[in-house]
Amino acid sequence: MINAVWFFALAAMLTAYTVLDGYDLGVGSLSLWIAKNDDERRMALNSIGPVWNGNEVWLIAAGGMMVVSFPRVYAVGFSGFYLALMLVLWLLILRGVSIEFRSQSRNPLWRALWDGGFWVGSLLLALLLGVALGNVVRGLPIGADGYFQGTFGLLLNPYALLTGILTVVVLAWHGTNYLRVKTEGALFERAVRWSRTLWWIAAGMVIVVTIATFIVLSGGPRTFHVYPAAWIIPFFVLAGLVWGYLSRGADRGTPAFRSSLLSSLP
């Protein structure tokens, strides 16, 4: 029973991390294209500036909680996916440092360097998050001792890459909705337009990944048969998408943000 409580607490923390740092990563993934000049880049960064650190903490807190609540899962999981986790760490460093260092100098080369770092770090982090999610759904070969029995290359299988792309798109959509709430001017206009476009791509990817999931897990995810309550997850996704469509008007920034948050929750 207590284990169930820990599990839900852990799931809640990871969910919080995804929807909060999700928009940071979304903003970052689009940053080079959606923000066209120094002022707009600064505006985009300032929108996440005060909160990105706190948002990232949910990931740390989840990891820390795992140490005490599920030490064997933590141990087996983290050492089993060694290279993947190290890559995530290095990307977190790149993303964090890029945000904090950019404003320290007015030199255009300096700023361009950290703009690039911010973009690459955010994009790859979003992708890897999705890859991890896809591998959890798909299942991975685990040995009798609990350790992962594959290579790093196995982690980048086609299904996981698809979920990776889905995550990039959904988080980017989430990011544009965040910008709709937090910015103004030309950046705001672009965020509204991109939000609409990304909605279509996100909806399309949801369909693609759903089909892929049924192919990869022959017969569909067993979870739905065992726990009918799990149907709430795709419901969230659909509800979020529908609400997102209804919020495509320029002035509907806040409801749009809430809708993409809803979709990211699952």
Partner 1 sequence: MNEAVFAHRIQFAFTVMFHYLFPILTMGLGFFIAVFSTLHLITEDIRYADAARFWAKIFAVNFALGVVTGIPLEFEFGTNWSRFSSFGGGVFGQALPLEGVYAFFLESGFLGMFLAGEKRVGRTLHWISGLGVAIGSLLSGYFIVATNAWMQHPVGYVMDHSGAIHLESFWAVLLNPYAAWQYAHTINGALLTAAFVIGGVGAFYLLSERHMGFGILSVKTTIVAGVILSLTQLFPTGDLNGASVVQYQPTKLAAMEGLFETSQGAPLAIIGMPDTQNGKLIDPIYVPEFLSFLAYGNFRATVEGLNSYSRDLWPPVELTYYCYHIMVGLGTIFIAQMLIGLFLLWRRKLYSSRWFLWMLMLTIPFPYIANEAGWTVSEVGRQPWLVYGLMKTPAGTSANVAAGETIFTTMGFAGIYAVLGVLFLFLVARIIHKGPQEDATAHG
* Stretch 141-160: interaction string toward partner 1, x if CB under 8 A: ----x-x-------------
Among 61, 230, 233, 250, binds partner 1 (CB under 8 A): 61
Instruction: Name the one residue in this structure whose structure tokens are 């790093």.
Output: 152
Radius of gyration for the chain, computed over Cα atoms and rounded to the nearest angstrom: 19
Distances (CA, A) of 214 to 50, 128, 157, 204: 41, 22, 16, 16
- Regarding 100 and contact with partner 1 (CB under 8 A), the answer is yes
Q: d(Cα 13, Cα 61) in Å, to the nearest integer?
A: 7
DSSP 37: S
Residue from 33, 37, 39, 71 that binds partner 1 (CB under 8 A)?
A: 71
Decide if residue 74 touches partner 1 (CB under 8 A).
yes
Q: Show the CA angle centred on residue 250, arms to residues 244 and 254, nearest 5°.
A: 55
Please, what is the minimum distance in Å from the beta carbon of residue 203 to partner 1?
A: 34
List 69, 157, 210, 223, residue binding partner 1 (CB under 8 A): 69
- Asked if 221 touches partner 1 (CB under 8 A), the answer is no
173 within 8 A of 264, measured Cβ to Cβ: no
- Provide the binding-site residues for partner 1, judged by CB under 8 A: 49-51, 53-54, 56-57, 60-61, 63-65, 67-69, 71-72, 74-80, 82-83, 85-86, 89-90, 92-93, 96-97, 100-101, 104-105, 145, 147
